[in-house]
Chain A
Amino acid sequence: MSKPTPPGPAPHSAPLALVDLDDRALLARHSAGDREAFAELVRRHRDRLWRVATRTLGNAEDAADALQDALLSAYRAAAGFRGDAAVTTWLHRIVVNACLDQVRRRAVRPTVPLDETAAAERATPDAYGARETAAEILAALRRLPIEQAAAIVLVDIEGYPVAEVAAILEVPVGTVKSRCARGRARLAETLHHLDGRNPAADRPVPLDDPPTTLNPPTTLDPPTHPGEPQ
């Protein structure tokens, strides 16, 4: 055994603060009975998980439900975490599965009628702000089969590598690519009137928070999605 040289205090000094621990160490603390460790893990990743849930489900209420279900089941399962996947992959998997369950349980997903008419009645595309554009994209996303929507959210919107998404969804890489391709083809059809509209150009319309203030993926690799190798 080569001697590891972790940063931090010697074995018998005070334990590291939770915020200084990595995800696996937090889960280990959790398993050892530290009541705060899991909450810290959630705090660390919740904005990302929230984005995935809201975009997959399309509204805050459903997303909050799914996330609550997911985090409670993650909490219960955490002690059995095997460590054969990144903690974030595991958390994402639980959240995405909760979203899929939610959609399968619920026959009616709101906003579809509105957004269909929104597309049909749109008169002056120039009057669209970033918010409307985003709403329309998300509405189109909700009309995809949920498996395609989940793949698109993770790969194209969140920018996770295809291999990571395959691990989250527990399907082969080729399946992720195929779902993305089909989903994109449908979206391109639905959103054709947004052609040439660069949402970045719409950014001056004030949004609540610029996306740059959000936590970037920390454990996952940076997005490199165009032409992702297998």
Chain B
Amino acid sequence: MTHEPPPGSAGTDGHLDLDTLAELDEGLLSGADAARHEAHLASCVTCREQQARLRATRALLAALPAEPMPTAVADRLDAALAGAIAGTIMPSDTRRRGWRAHPTAASTAAVAAGVALIAAIVLGTTLNSSKHPDQPAAPLSAGAPALDKLATANTPTTVSGRHYTADNVRRLVDKLVRAPKTDQASAAAGPSGAAGPSGAVGPSGAASPHAESAATVPDALTRLYSSPIELSGCLAAIEKGGPLQTPLAVDFAEYAGRPALIVVLPGLTSGHISAWIVGGNCSSANADLLSYKSLPDPAAG
């Protein structure tokens, strides 16, 4: 046993620290130390509570729910193995993140997806900026015939200015992803000026489900907002060179008090979506990741 008792095995207040208690539980301490600590435990409620806490942690770990390998991952691994079996093993640099067994197929697809994505973002941003400047951007998915050909690459972009936090990210992303459908529904209701789900009515009378706050793009995000190239670089960095997927939603907002871009992508796990929250410095070189969360896909529920 190469273990050395840590210097603070009995804390400054005379209590046992968590390291010592964990080592005691694991049988790592010498007989004399163990006996001394057991004697202390017998008479010290505080230390027994700490020990219980430690054991509760183990119980939490043992009870973690497990998810089976998602089909998408299983398919990817099958394809990679099939490629290996067929003798077309990719060099390790290009193999990374390759979803297809053949490197040229994978890179061609990635380039094609990237072009489509940039095209969609260019169109999206153009449409956005043609709107009333004081009107929060509405999702672009509804009623834009010009985008029909790019339906799969049609990124709904919004400027909600919402204040995302770790606690509300799930709810807000849920709302964000559901919003386009709601928009279509309320737009179909006609020009009656009916209020959207959040109660806001745009100047034209069309419902604006994202008008929770009349947001303007914060300075820190204008580079990403105004340049589709910058934005697509940022998205590529988020996906780390992987297959470029069309975001389900992009929202210019705030996270934990900082200007942030919320990018919602399909999750690897079916029935899940991924929320990538990046700061204004997000670029092709560095995603400036503020946080990430995998969430259940509201559309699947």
A→B interface (CB under 8 Å): 35, 38-39, 42, 46-47, 50-51, 54-55, 59-61, 63-65, 67-69, 71-72, 75-76, 108, 110-111, 113-115, 117-118, 121-123, 130-131, 133-135, 137-138, 152, 156-157, 159, 172, 174-175, 177-178, 180-182, 184-189, 191-192, 194-200, 203, 207-211, 213-214, 223, 225-227
Alpha-carbon distance A194/B53, docked complex (angstroms): 9
- The majority secondary structure among interface residues of chain A is helix
* Chain B contacts for A185, CB-based, 8 A: 17-19, 21-22, 54
Among B25, B50, B98, B271, find the residue whose CB has the most chain A CB atoms closer than 10 A: B25
Alpha-carbon distance A199/B57, docked complex (angstroms): 11
* B25 & A198 in contact (Cβ 8 Å cutoff): no
* Chain A contacts for B165, CB-based, 8 A: 117, 121
* B166 & A118 in contact (Cβ 8 Å cutoff): yes
Alpha-carbon distance A152/B256, docked complex (angstroms): 31
In the assembled complex, the CB of B164 is this many whole angstroms from the nearest CB of chain A, namely: 10
* B81 & A42 in contact (Cβ 8 Å cutoff): yes
* A117 & B65 in contact (Cβ 8 Å cutoff): no
In the assembled complex, the CB of B128 is this many whole angstroms from the nearest CB of chain A, namely: 27
Within 8 A of A (CB), among B112-151: none
Provided the pairs A47-B68, A115-B166, A180-B26 are in contact, do residues A72 and B61 lie with their beta carbons within 8 angstroms? no
Chain A residue nearest in CB terms to B271: A208
Alpha-carbon distance A172/B65, docked complex (angstroms): 29
Alpha-carbon distance A227/B58, docked complex (angstroms): 13
* A65 & B167 in contact (Cβ 8 Å cutoff): no
* Chain B contacts for A181, CB-based, 8 A: 19, 22-23, 25-26, 28
Alpha-carbon distance A134/B66, docked complex (angstroms): 10
Which of B3, B53, B80, B276 makes the CB contact (< 8 A) with A178? B3
Q: Which of B183-191, B200-208, B223-231, B288-296 contacts A (4 or more CB under 8 A)?
A: B288-296
CB<8 Å pairs between A and B, sample of 17: A46-B69, A46-B77, A50-B68, A59-B292, A60-B294, A61-B240, A64-B76, A64-B77, A67-B77, A114-B277, A114-B291, A121-B165, A138-B64, A186-B18, A188-B53, A196-B56, A199-B64
* Chain B contacts for A200, CB-based, 8 A: 63
In the assembled complex, the CB of B80 is this many whole angstroms from the nearest CB of chain A, namely: 5
* A177 & B74 in contact (Cβ 8 Å cutoff): no
In the assembled complex, the CB of A188 is this many whole angstroms from the nearest CB of chain B, namely: 4
- 17 additional A-B pairs beyond A110-B292, A184-B57, beta carbons within 8 Å, are A68-B95, A71-B81, A72-B80, A75-B81, A110-B291, A111-B291, A121-B165, A121-B166, A134-B65, A174-B3, A177-B28, A178-B23, A178-B26, A184-B22, A185-B22, A187-B61, A199-B63
* B61 & A152 in contact (Cβ 8 Å cutoff): yes
Among B1, B19, B81, B169, find the residue whose CB has the most chain A CB atoms closer than 10 A: B81
Alpha-carbon distance A135/B256, docked complex (angstroms): 19
**B contact residues, total (Cβ < 8 Å):** 67
Alpha-carbon distance A157/B21, docked complex (angstroms): 20
* A178 & B76 in contact (Cβ 8 Å cutoff): no
Q: Does B85 contact A (CB under 8 A)?
A: yes
Q: Does B84 contact A (CB under 8 A)?
A: yes
Q: Does B45 contact A (CB under 8 A)?
A: no
Annotate B220-253 by CB proximity to A: 1 below 8 A, 0 otherwise: 0000000000000000000010100000000000
* Chain A contacts for B66, CB-based, 8 A: 51, 209, 211, 214
Provided the pairs A60-B269, A65-B96, A199-B63 are in contact, do residues A213 and B68 lie with their beta carbons within 8 angstroms? yes
Alpha-carbon distance A71/B69, docked complex (angstroms): 14
Q: Does B32 contact A (CB under 8 A)?
A: no
Among A181, A187, A200, A208, find the residue whose CB has the most chain B CB atoms closer than 10 A: A181
* Chain B contacts for A195, CB-based, 8 A: 53, 56
Alpha-carbon distance A182/B5, docked complex (angstroms): 11
* Chain B contacts for A156, CB-based, 8 A: 58, 61-62
* Chain A contacts for B240, CB-based, 8 A: 61
Q: Does B92 contact A (CB under 8 A)?
A: yes
Alpha-carbon distance A1/B19, docked complex (angstroms): 53
* B293 & A111 in contact (Cβ 8 Å cutoff): yes
